[in-house]
Structure 1
Amino acid sequence: MATESAPREQKAMAPFSSPSVAKPTLLYEGGGAREYNIYVLYALVAGVPYLIKRALGLSLGTYFVLAALLALPIGAATLVVHSWIVKTPTDQVGALPNEPLEKYMTILDKALKAQYHGHRKIPMEEFFERYFDGDIDLAGDALEVFEKRYDWAFFPITKNVAMFFLLQWIPELLWHSRKQDETQVRDHYDRGDDFYAVFLGERMVYTSGLIGDPSRKETLEELQDNKLRDVCERVQMRPGDRHLDLGCGWGTLAAYAARNYGTESVGVTLGRNQTAFGNERAAKWGVGDKVRILCMDYRDTPRRPRYNRVTCLEMAEHVGVRKFQEFLLQVRDMMEDDGLFYLQIAGLRGAWQYEDFSWGLFMAKYIFPGADASCPLNWVVGQLEATGFEVRSVDTIGVHYSATLARWYENWLANREVVVEKYGKRWFRIWEIFLAWSIIIARQGSSTCYQILAHKNRNGFDRAGLVRKPLGYGMASGSL
C-alpha cells in the first residue's frame, strides 16, 4: 500500500462565506484522476496483447483484434488496482487527525472488529453495508464523522462494488424499459408521503433549492421558494403560457407557476402518491382548473398542443444515458418554436476521485436506482446541441444543493423516532448516510447540479429577448 504523505503546508481552516453552507472541518483531498496514470494504461493495452501474440506466435492482425478485445478489461483492472494502491493525493494542504478507528465508530461484530481496528482503515463500501446491517454504530453525529472520513476509511473498488456495477448498473443502463423505470419509481417514491415529508418539509420539493441571502442561514422553505421563483423567471413565464413540468414530483412547481404567474401547467410523474398529492394541493391553492398532474411515463406525455415552457428538475437523470437523445428530441417536438426549456440535472465532475465512484454506486443501489444519466457538464451540453437545442445559460449550483441537503439532514435527525418506528432503523440509517455524505459530496464538487436554459437553435428565435445586462453595467468603476 502507498503511504500517505504529510501535507506540504499547514493552513488554518478558512471560514466559509455563508452560514447557509455546512463548512468542512477537515481540509483533505482524495485520490483520483490526478493519480490515475493514463500512460501506464496505454502501455498495458498495447503491451499485454503483444506479449500474448509473441508467446503464441499469432499474426499481426490477431494482435489488433486482441488489443481491441482486451482494452476494456485491462482498463477496468488498472482502475481497480489504482483504487486500492493510491488512496490520497500526495499534495495536501491539511493533515489527518490520525485517530484510531474507535474514535469514530464502535464495531459490534467480532470478526469485523478483528479485521479493522486502530489505524487500519475500513473500505467505505464495507462500512456502510455493515452499518446498515447493525454491525457498526457511529460514535457521533454522522456528518461530523464523515467530515473526517479519510481518517478512518478509503475508497477501493471492492468485489461487491464491481459485481453491482457489472450485474445491475450496466444492465439497467443498457435497458431502461418502461417496466424497469416504473418499478424503480414505485419502490422509491410511493414508499409514503410521510417518509418524504419528514425531511422535505411543507414544500415537498425533492430538488436543490437556491441560497438567496448568503449572509444568513435561510430556512429550507426559503431556499425552495428562491428556486421556484428563479425557475419561473428564467423561463419568463407569463399568464396563459402552456407549461409542462416533466418529473414534477409532488406538483409544487406546477401549482406555484399557475398561482403566481397564471400558467396552464401540466405535471407528469410516475408516482401515484405524488399525483394525488399534487392535484389536491393545486385545488387547495385555488388553481385546480389550471393544473393537471398526470400519472404516466414521460414518454406518454401529451405532445399537442405544444408547450411554451418546459421544465425538468432532476428527473432527466432517470431517463438514462442510452435514452437521453430520444428524450431531448421528444422535448423539442413538444415545444413551440419560440419556447424555452429549463433543465436542472445532477451531474458529476470530470476530474473524478475514487470517492466519487463509491458514492455514485451507493446512490445507484440505495437512493436513486436507474439514474445513470448524471454525467459531466460537457456531455449534457453536447447532447442538447446534438438534438437541435442552443444552450443559453448554465449555472453550477452544487453549493446550493449542499445547503439544501443540510436542511434535509437536520429535519431527518429531528424525526428519527418517527422514521424508525414506522420504517425501521435500517431505512433511517440509509438516508442518514445519504444525506450526511451528500452534503460533503455536493460541497466539494464530486457531484453537483446544473441549471441549463435552452431553446431551439432556429434562425428566427428572438435571442435578444434573453439578453441580460453585463455584471457591473452602469457602475462608475466600470468606466474608462
Structure 2
Amino acid sequence: MSSSTVKPTSYPAIKNAPLLGLAEGSGSFSNLHLAVLLVVIPYVIKSWVPLVSYGGFKTYLFVAALTGVPITLAYWTLMSTYGGRINQKVQLPGKDIETYITIKDAELKALYHGKEKIPIQVFHDAYFDGKIDVNGDVLDILEQRYDWARFNFTYELFKYVITVFIPEVVVHSQEQDQEQVQGHYDRGDDFYSWFLGPRMIYTSGIIGDPDVEETLEELQDNKLAAVCEKLDLQPEDRYLDIGCGWGTLVTYAAKNYHCDSTGVTLSKNQAAFARERIATNGLSADRARILCHDYREIPTGTTYNKISCLEMAEHVGVRRYSQFLSQMYNLLDDDGLFVFQVAGFRQTWQFEDLIWGLFMNKYVFPGADASCSLGWVVTKLEQAGFEMKNIDVLGVHYSATLFRWYKNWLSNKEAVLAKYGEKWFRTWAYFLASATIASRQGSASVFQITMHKNLNAFHRVKLIKNHHSIHVPLAKEPSLVI
C-alpha cells in the first residue's frame, strides 16, 4: 500500500503534519518472546556450561537471576534497533542526514553521516549542548525525523532507567515530590509566561472549532468553561482544585460561578501569583483561596462536593496512585462530582513513545511516572470506588495548545537566552515541538474524565442535563426508520 493512501490534513486549528510526518515507527516487541528467552537461555547455559551444569533447580534459578537483566537489555536493544516499522504506507525519501541536521562535533560526525541515522537520544542531548544544529525550524525537522533518526534504546537510556527512573518510581516520597515540584514550578513566573501567555495555564486547552485558528487564550477559555460545566458548579458549591497551578481555574470558577473555591499547590511562586490573581479579580479571601502545601496535608474530614485535578496526578507516581485516588474519594461528598484530567500514553506503543517519555521524565517533568494508558487509569479509578460518567480524549486538543506554546517560546527567544541561556532555550523548544507531534499522532494524549462515587444512593438521573456529549445537535431532521 503506497503513501497515496495516507492523506495530510489542513485544519487551521492545529499544526498539520506533512506526509513524511505521518510515517509509523517500530513497535516490534513481544512480552511472550522475552519471557521465553528469560526461561530458555538460563536453561541452555546451565546445561552446557561446565561450572553450573551439575547443579539442580536452585542453580538454574541462580543462573536465571544472574542473566535476567542482560537478556532483557539485549532484547530491548535488538528489537528497537532492528524491528521493522508498523507499516510502510508512508515511504521515506532516504535523504542524507546532512539534509536535516548539521553535526559540529567531530566524534559524532564520524559516526553519523550520509545514510547513517542518529539515535534520537544522542541527537537531542547533543542538540541541547550545541554540538548539533537543525537546518531550519526544529519542529519542521522533527516532522521528518524517521528519515534521519533511529528510535533505539541506547546505553544512556538504560543507564537513566536503572539509576534514576526506577529508584524514583519505587521511592516517590513526599519530600521527593516537594523538591521536584518546587524545583520545576518555582523556576520563575517569567519562564512560564514566555510560552503560557497571560492565562498561565499549564494544561491542555480545548479546540472549539477545528476550522478556525483560535488563539491560545480561546483554547484555554474553552477548557475552563468545559470543566466548570462538567462539574455543574453552583453558588452553594464547595469546590477544590488539586494542583491548581497559577490559580486561573480557581479564580474563573469563583468569579463566574460564584462558588466557594479552594486551590492547592506545592509551588510557592504559583501560590503567590494565584493569590494576587484572585485579589485582582475582586474576589475576597472568603470566596477564593490558595493553600500552599502537599495534597496529603489537607485535613482529614474536610470534604468538597466538587473537585478537579488537571494534569497533576502524573506527579503522584504509579506506586502511590491508588492511595492518592483513595484520598480524592474521601475528600469528595457522596453526592459530589470529580473532573480528573491526566496525560497518558497509548497502550499499543511504539519505541518512539517510550524514548520520548524518558526524555520528558529526565528533562521536563522529573518524577512524573504515572502517565499510563486510559485503560489503566480507568481501572484505578474504578478500584478506588468511582463510576465514570464521561470520558473525553483531548490529545489533538493538547497538540493545538502545545503548538501555540511553541510559537510563544520562539517569539521570546532573546528574553530566554538572556536569563536562562542557550541550553534551556533548546531543551524547551525541543520539548514543545516533540510534544506537539506526540499528542497529535497519539503517542501521548490527555484524558478528561468526569465521575462520581459508585454508590446506590447517587442520583445519576440528575447528571443527564449536563452530559453534553450525548446531546447531539442535528444538522437537519433525520428520516426515521419504519
Normalising by the residue count of structure 2, what TM-score does the alignment of the two structures yield? 0.93
Give 1:183-202 correspondences, 5 Å limit: 183-202=179-198
Which residue of 200, 214, 230 maps to 1:218?
214
Q: Aligned runs of 1:123-202 on 2, under 5 Å?
A: 123-202=119-198
Q: Work out the CA distance in 2 between the residues paired with 1:71 and 1:404.
A: 42
The answer as to whether partners of 1:279 and 1:288 remain within 8 angstroms in 2 is: no
CA distance in 2, matches of 1:298, 1:155: 37
Q: What are the residue-to-residue correspondences of 1:444-459 with 2, within 5 Å?
A: 444-459=441-456
- String of CA shifts for 1:401-423, please: whole Å, max 9, x gaps: 00000000010111111100111
Match of 2:232 among 228, 236, 258: 236
Cα deviation, 1:35-56, whole Å, max 9, x if unaligned, reads 2244432431231132234231
The code of the aligned residue for 2:297 comes to D
Which stretch has the larger CA shift, 72-81 or 230-239? 72-81
Distance 2:433 2:472 in 1: 38
Matched, 1:31 2:26: yes
Aligned: 1:397 with 2:394: yes
Q: Which residue of structure 2 aligns with residue 16 of structure 1?
A: 9
One of 254, 257, 265 as aligned partner of 1:261: 257
CA contact (8 A) 1:278 1:293 kept: yes
- The answer to whether residue 103 in structure 2 is matched with residue 107 in structure 1 is yes
The SS at the match of 1:476 is coil
In 2: Cα distance, 1:429 partner to 1:225 partner: 29
Is 1:54 the counterpart of 2:43 in the alignment?
A: no
Shift of 1:60: 4.4
62-71 or 288-297, larger mean C-alpha shift: 62-71
* Cα distance in 1 between the residues matched to 2:200 and 2:141: 28
Q: How does 1:335-414 map to 2 (within 5 A)?
A: 335-414=332-411
Percent identity, aligned pairs only?
Answer: 50
Amino acid of the structure 2 residue aligned with 1:45: L
Letter of the structure 2 residue corresponding to residue 78 of structure 1: Y
- For residues 57 and 106 of structure 2, the distance between their equivalents in structure 1, rounded to whole angstroms, comes to 55
The 3 A distance-change label for structure 1 pair 478 and 160 is: farther
Q: For residue 272 of structure 1, what is the aligned residue in structure 2?
A: 268
1:79–1:477 CA distance, 2 compared to 1 (3 A): same
Name the CA distance, whole Å, in 1 between partners of 2:276 and 2:4: 54
Note the residue ranges of structure 2 that are not aligned, 5 or more in a row. none
Residue 476 of structure 1 is matched in structure 2 by: 477
Residues 205 and 249, structure 1, Cα contact 8 Å, conserved in 2: yes
Which residue does the alignment assign to 2:430?
433
1:464, 1:213 → 2: CA distance? 30
Instruction: Describe the SS at the equivalent of 1:18.
Output: coil
Structure 2 match to 1:5 = none
Question: Which amino acid is 2:351 matched to?
Answer: Y
Q: Deviations over 1:65-112 (max 9, x none)?
A: 7657755653443122211212533x2111112221111111111121
Counterpart pick for 1:285 among 278, 281, 290: 281
Letter in 2 for 1:146: L
- Report the Cα offset of residue 387 of structure 1: 1.1
Distance in 2, Cα, partners of 1:80 & 1:267: 45
Cα distance between partner residues in 2 of 1:15 and 1:350:
24
SS of alignment partner, residue 337 of structure 1? strand
DSSP 3-state at the match of 1:19:
coil
After TM superposition, list the pairs within 5 Å mapping 1:297-336 onto structure 2: 297-336=294-333
Tell me: CA distance 1:87–1:358, structure 2 relative to 1, closer, same or farther (3 Å).
farther
Q: Once structures 1 and 2 are overlaid, which stretch shifts more, 405-414 or 53-62? A: 53-62
Superposed CA offset, 1:265-319 (max 9, x none): 1111111110000000001111133111111011112344410111000000000
Please say if residues 472 and 478 of structure 1, whose CA atoms lie closer than 8 Å, have aligned partners that are also in contact.
Answer: no
Over 3 Å counting, the alpha-carbon distance change for 1:287 and 1:69 in structure 2 is: farther
Which deviates more from structure 2 when the two are superposed, residues 105-114 or residues 190-199? 105-114
- Structure 2 CA distance for aligned equivalents of residues 380 and 72 of structure 1: 28
Cα pair 1:100 1:118 within 8 Å, conserved: yes
Distance 1:51 1:75 in 2: 16
8 A contact 1:87–1:155 mirrored in 2: no
Q: TM-score, length-normalised on structure 1?
A: 0.94
1:224-251, Cα deviation, whole Å (9 max, x unpaired): 0000000000111111211110000001
Mapped partners of 1:442, 1:184: distance in 2: 24
2:407 maps to a residue whose letter is E
Residues 52/156 of structure 1: CA separation in 2 closer, same or farther (3 Å cut): same
Partner of 2:4, secondary structure, is coil
Q: Residue type of the partner of 2:34?
A: L
Q: Any stretches of 5+ residues in structure 1 without a counterpart?
A: 1-7
- The answer to whether structure 1 residue 422 and structure 2 residue 409 are counterparts is no
Cα RMSD of the aligned pairs, angstroms, is: 1.8
Partner of residue 44, structure 1:
37
Amino acid at match of 1:36: F
Distance 1:259 1:69, change over 3 A: farther
CA distance in 1, matches of 2:328, 2:308: 10
Task: State how far apart, in whole Å, the 2-side matches of 1:137 and 1:61 are.
Answer: 54
Letter in 2 for 1:203: R
Instruction: State whether residues 8 and 17 of structure 2, in contact with CA within 8 Å, keep that contact through their aligned partners in structure 1.
Output: no
Instruction: Tell me how many residue pairs correspond in the alignment.
Output: 470
Distance 2:472 2:204 in 1: 28
The 1-side partners of 2:271 and 2:295 are apart by 13
Counterpart residue number, 1:119 = 115
